A and B are shown apart, each in its own frame.
Chain A
Amino acid sequence: MDDILLLDAVERYLRGEMSAEERTFLEEMRKKNPEIDQLVVEHTYFLNELDQFGSTKNFKHNLVEVETRLIEEGVISPAKLKGKAKVVYLWKRYRRIAAVAATIAGFVSLITAGVTSVYNNKQPNSEIELLNRKFTDLDKKVKEANNEIREVKGKIDPKFTLVSGGTGFLIDGQGYLITNNHVLKGKTIIATNDKGQQFYAEVCMRDDQRDIAVLKIADKDYVPVKILPYGISNSVNLAEPIYTVGFPKDDIVYNEGYMSSETGNKGDTLTYQIAIAADHGNSGGPVLNKNGDIIGILTKKAEGNGAVFAVKSRYIFNVMDALKKDTSYADIKLNTVNSIKNLDRVQQVKKVNNCVFLIKSYQ
């Protein structure tokens, strides 16, 4: 106990909180007692170290904060991927383009070879031109035919009627989508991606209380997405910027806003209150934070004040746990690794769009 008093005294002494009387007393003690003197010196040194540590830590904290803001503003260039990761990244990014380019290159060289051998020096130019024109004509016709096919394909059997709709997003690249339960009022469900491709989807699970439903795209045309860009995160901060992408109309729409409250309507703990422009079709869409992590599912709009609510992302985990008890769904894997954190918003949204679907439900 004496030690506590002594150290307390030393701290007050160092901070200059002692009265003149106390000061003299302590200084007297130091002179008389070398042990106390040693203790004061040692403690002074240690407290200085601690103080130095504290202020450096606070400073580092501020540094990172300022840096982050400046990166967002574009004053500092964000980290670029480097080494192997970059090659892999570029390969993934341009794989399709490379494939198309290779095919075209192959095609062109074949045609050139063919054309050269057939028309080698004997044929007059006019015939080549004629052939060329026919070829262009044919190409145009093929395109028209393709368009017609697409149109026919796009038409749903007229005996079905649209009963509800909204937005959904992938949580597993194999084709598992999350949306709101209230989006799925009908029996037949069609999910359309941002390129307009349509897929049949089946309901795996509904949770009416939390208004979450899990869909599985059950369509042979669906190409699985290997890596989802966003992770799912539970942590939110009041006032942090958020954004959403969804289908309030047939084309994808981006909107941004901020986190207003950690509870929903009348203190409802299932949802967050957010401030964002949203319409009916946004229901079931992802709410992302500035890093591109999903923090909620946009759910509904309050009558009157226009407040928007989003189901907390943690319930996605809950619903998944429940779903996984069914062994046929045991292989679903939620993506928690975010690969778009360092991209700017435009690039983030480009990646997120690939994983967001227009959901329509028909009766």
Chain B
Amino acid sequence: MSTLEEDKLILQGLAANDKQAIESIYRSNYAMIQAFILNNNGTYDDARDIFQEAMIVLFDKARTEQFELSSQLKTYVYSVCRRLWLKRLNQMHRFNGNLEHAENTVVVDEDMEQHEKRNADFTLMENAMSKIGEPCKSLLDAYYIQKKHMQEIAAEFGYTNADNAKTQKYKCLMRLKKLFFAQYKNGS
């Protein structure tokens, strides 16, 4: 199998949230990224953070339908990490103007923009979720995130039937929606 085909398979696995795919990306790229971060003013902790974030970028990208990798996976991961680290350094005012020479990188500007927007949305939803309280949080989590069936949820939460659970779920969803869009309008 060529590298390109292999990369494609791994990304398919990643899009399906497959642990093996995650692991294989770590195994073949982590050492390189860690060395890069350590060589450029970073710590072991930074390396782990940056790599995690890059994995999320990659995950989001792999899930979009029209996704096509224009370079080798390795190059892409390196480019994203490099970009993320540059930003982090700038934020911490630790950047001394010369990041390790960048050969073999690809342009990831658009992906970064996407990622930042998604990140912001994720935080909004997380905030809204944390504000709706229990049992709403668990109820919505069970239905929309763990994708359990309504009958199952009714039994688990102790509702007498699925319809009651559904009504409760509806109320919770409305509250969540309100909280979510309220933050949105505030432009936070």
Cα distance A12–B47 in the bound complex, in angstroms = 43
**Contacts A46-B177, A80-B44; is A66 near B59 (CB within 8 Å)?**
no
Cα distance A329–B112 in the bound complex, in angstroms = 59
Q: Binding site of A, secondary structure by majority: helix, strand, loop or mixed?
A: helix
Contacts of B52 in A (CB 8 A): 60, 63, 67
Residue pair A62, B17 in contact (C-beta under 8 Å): yes
Question: Can you name the residue of chain B whose Cβ is closest to the Cβ of A69?
Answer: B23
Residue pair B17, A59 in contact (C-beta under 8 Å): yes
- Of A8, A49, A80, the most chain B CB neighbours within 10 A belong to A49
The segment from B26-34, B85-93, B97-105 that touches chain A is: B26-34
Residue pair B63, A55 in contact (C-beta under 8 Å): yes
**Contacts A51-B144, A75-B30; is A70 near B125 (CB within 8 Å)?**
no
Question: Can you name the residue of chain A whose Cβ is closest to the Cβ of B31?
Answer: A75
Residue pair A79, B122 in contact (C-beta under 8 Å): no
Residue B145 interfacial (CB < 8 Å): yes
Contacts of A77 in B (CB 8 A): 34, 44, 47
Residue B166 interfacial (CB < 8 Å): yes
Residue A3 interfacial (CB < 8 Å): yes
Residue A7 interfacial (CB < 8 Å): yes
Cα distance A67–B27 in the bound complex, in angstroms = 10
Residue A82 interfacial (CB < 8 Å): yes
Residue pair B166, A4 in contact (C-beta under 8 Å): yes
Residue pair A79, B48 in contact (C-beta under 8 Å): yes
Residue pair B55, A52 in contact (C-beta under 8 Å): no
Contact with B along A10-23 (1 / 0, CB 8 A): 00000000000000
Q: Nearest chain B CB to A87's CB is how many angstroms away?
A: 15
Residue A57 interfacial (CB < 8 Å): yes
Q: Nearest chain A CB to B44's CB is how many angstroms away?
A: 5
Q: How many residues of A contact B (CB 8 A)?
A: 32
Question: Can you name the residue of chain B whose Cβ is closest to the Cβ of A46?
Answer: B177
Categorize the interface residue count of chain B: 35 or more
Contacts of A79 in B (CB 8 A): 43-45, 48
Residue pair B122, A59 in contact (C-beta under 8 Å): no
Residue B180 interfacial (CB < 8 Å): yes
Contacts of B166 in A (CB 8 A): 4, 8
Cα distance A59–B45 in the bound complex, in angstroms = 20
Q: Nearest chain B CB to A300's CB is how many angstroms away?
A: 37
Contacts of B121 in A (CB 8 A): 49, 52-53
Contact with A along B34-50 (1 / 0, CB 8 A): 10000000011101100
Residue A65 interfacial (CB < 8 Å): yes
Cα distance A220–B63 in the bound complex, in angstroms = 67
Q: Nearest chain A CB to B77's CB is how many angstroms away?
A: 14
Contact with A along B147-188 (1 / 0, CB 8 A): 100000000000000000011001001001100110000000
Cα distance A46–B175 in the bound complex, in angstroms = 12
Cα distance A69–B30 in the bound complex, in angstroms = 14
Residue pair A53, B43 in contact (C-beta under 8 Å): no
Residue A114 interfacial (CB < 8 Å): no
Residue pair A52, B118 in contact (C-beta under 8 Å): yes
Cα distance A69–B47 in the bound complex, in angstroms = 17
Q: Nearest chain A CB to B34's CB is how many angstroms away?
A: 7
Question: Can you name the residue of chain A whose Cβ is closest to the Cβ of B121?
Answer: A49
Contacts of B106 in A (CB 8 A): none
Contacts of B144 in A (CB 8 A): 47, 50-51, 54
Residue A104 interfacial (CB < 8 Å): no
Residue pair A46, B45 in contact (C-beta under 8 Å): no
**Contacts A3-B170, A78-B44, A82-B43; is A62 near B180 (CB within 8 Å)?**
no
Cα distance A7–B140 in the bound complex, in angstroms = 15
Residue B126 interfacial (CB < 8 Å): yes
Contacts of B17 in A (CB 8 A): 55, 58-59, 62
Residue pair A4, B59 in contact (C-beta under 8 Å): no
Contacts A/B (CB < 8 Å), 21 sampled:
A50-B144, A50-B176, A52-B122, A53-B122, A53-B145, A55-B17, A56-B56, A58-B145, A63-B52, A63-B55, A66-B26, A70-B23, A70-B27, A70-B30, A76-B26, A76-B48, A77-B34, A77-B44, A79-B44, A79-B48, A82-B45
Residues of A within 8 A of B (CB): 3-4, 7-8, 46-47, 49-60, 62-63, 65-67, 69-70, 75-80, 82
The 7 closest A-B pairs by CB, nearest first: A54-B145, A53-B125, A66-B22, A4-B170, A79-B45, A77-B44, A66-B23
A-B contact sample (11 more), CB < 8 A, given A50-B145, A57-B145: A46-B180, A50-B140, A52-B121, A56-B56, A56-B118, A66-B22, A67-B26, A67-B48, A76-B26, A77-B44, A82-B45
